[in-house]
Amino acid sequence: MERICSIIEAEAQRILPILYASNTIKWWLIMSKTIVKAFRFSFKPSKTQSVKLNDTLYLCQQLYNASLQERIDAYKINRISINCQAQQNQLPDIKTTNPEYKNIHSQVLQNVLKRVDLAFQAFFQRIKRKEKAGFPRFRSLNSYDSFTFPQSGFALTGNKLTLSTIGTVKLKLSRQIIGKVKTLTIKQECGKWFVIFTIETAVEPLPKTDKSVGIDAGIANFLTLSDGTIIENPRFAETLQKSLRVAQRSVSRKKKGGNNRKKAVLKLRKIHQKIKNCRADFQHKAARYLVNNYDVICIEKLKVSNMLKNHCLGRVISDVSWSSFFQVLSNKAVEAGRELIKVTPNFTSQTCSNCGYCEKANRKTQADFVCLKCHFSINADENAAINILGLGKNLLGSKWNNSSCLPKESLTITASV
């Protein structure tokens, strides 16, 4: 047996470098990776189901706050930290004293306590990183808008979803669910109900394009690519700003606690929701374009929190929401087996992409770059994008084909809701 093992080992040592050199292993490693994806669908519950869903949300919110309170009290009075397991062990007793909790699936309740635990874990992580800590907060009914079945308590047959203790609802399946369902979350947004499946699925690499790209995230344009392509800024909030202002004014004029105020708040939340949906749609389309067209994508490490301190640009930056876009791009890149490289963008806007001369005065205006040494003239954002691509190349340390062969174009991605 030992001998067989040593033969296999020797053979593996001989073959592995060959396979690795021919990229077979790299390909296999990508293929064998699994990723977690979210699928979201809307549904219309019946009146009875709607009452049950709202009751579940209310009871989960109460449990969340009670659990948070217990942890705070235990620490204040006894200097004891209560962990998640200890709180979950109390659930049977809670059900005895509060029989209404018997109508909720036990795993949903366990997940509520898990959420409190995660909030504390995130809090301690922030302290460790010496960031602004932000102690876990009590949640209002408005902010507590979802509950999760972590493993069981639901069954999907065709477009019919059966939820334990709630009933069967019909989903508007806008796309096919491929993969293994891990968790299911029910969410309420502006009076509408959604179901979110998280699915574990295998990575499906896209065919190679042999192209790579550097990306500069700017204010004038959303993205400028190193091949000159421009993805224009969507600025949804700009166009929806007027209705947002009217709605905000309307809320502030209404009497607190009144029915009219409730209606006005709902209207305001719907506008915010529309902006959020438009933004998500735009981000997915822009990320899809990049991932479909380039094997290697180099982006800059942005410190958005610092940029937001600059108030005049702050609104525009939060408008285009870089960090969430880069997250979407990163997820899509992993899913498609693409490489996403983050580089430190020091001096990328001041350095000449033609000769490498670095000087602040090279950048004549926000838009124009003219090198003082070699007189190379180019759009300032495109120059930065080429530099980012160069830095990415250095990081990867390999040769690749230059992507500057594409025709220069201006790409307009329109968002639909």
194 contributes a contact to Zn ion by CB under 5 A: no
- Residue 33 or 364 having the CB closest to Zn ion: 364
Joined tokens for residue 263? 């209606």
Distance CA 56, CA 58 (A): 5
Using rule CB under 5 A, residue 380 touches Zn ion? no
**Relative orientation angle of helices 259-293 and 236-253, to the nearest 10 degrees:** 170
Report the alpha-carbon distance of residue 225 to residue 404 in Å, rounded. 10
Stretch near Zn ion under the rule CB under 5 A, chosen from 146-154, 205-213, 268-276, 356-364: 356-364
CB of 208 to Zn ion, least distance (A): 33
Determine if residue 187 is left, alpha or beta; phi over 0 gives left, psi from -120 to 50 gives alpha, anything else beta.
beta
Q: How many residues does the chain have?
A: 417
Q: In this complex, which beta carbon is closest to Zn ion, that of residue 31 or of residue 372?
A: 372
Structure tokens at 236: 């949804």
The angle at the Cα of 198, spanning 34 to 175, to the nearest 5 degrees, equals 95
DSSP β-bridge partners for residue 171 = 43
Q: Pull the structure tokens for residue 36.
A: 């977690």
Contact with Zn ion (CB under 5 A): which of 66, 371, 380, 385?
Answer: 371
Minimum separation from the CB atom of position 370 to Zn ion (A): 9
Q: Which two tokens stand for residue 223?
A: 């993205």
Contact yes or no for 160/171 (Cβ under 8 A): yes
Report the residue from 84, 237, 298, 352 that binds Zn ion according to the rule CB under 5 A: 352
391 binds Zn ion (CB under 5 A): no
Q: Judged by CB under 5 A, which stretch of 170-178, 236-244, 293-301, 365-373 contacts Zn ion?
A: 365-373
Interface with Zn ion, residue 372, by CB under 5 A: no
Closest CB 301 distance from Zn ion, rounded Å? 25
- 192 beta partners: 189
Query: CB–CB of 221/376 below 8 Å?
Result: no
374 part of the interface to Zn ion, by CB under 5 A: yes
Residue 354 as a binder of Zn ion (CB under 5 A): the answer is: yes
Select the residue interacting with Zn ion from 43, 123, 376, 400 (CB under 5 A). 376
| Cα angle 384, 385, 388; round to 5 | 90
Nearer to Zn ion, 224 or 351 (CB): 351
Q: Does 357 bind Zn ion (CB under 5 A)?
A: yes
Size of the site for Zn ion (CB under 5 A): 8
Cα gap 295→208, rounded to integer Å: 6
Shortest gap between Cβ of 358 and Zn ion (angstroms)?
10
**Is residue 384 involved in binding Zn ion (CB under 5 A)?**
no
**Residue from 355, 367, 395, 417 in contact with Zn ion (CB under 5 A):** 355
Residues 253-272 that bind Zn ion (CB under 5 A): none
Q: At residue 162, what are phi and psi to the nearest 5 degrees?
A: -100, 125
Interacting residues with Zn ion (CB under 5 A): 352, 354-355, 357, 371, 373-374, 376
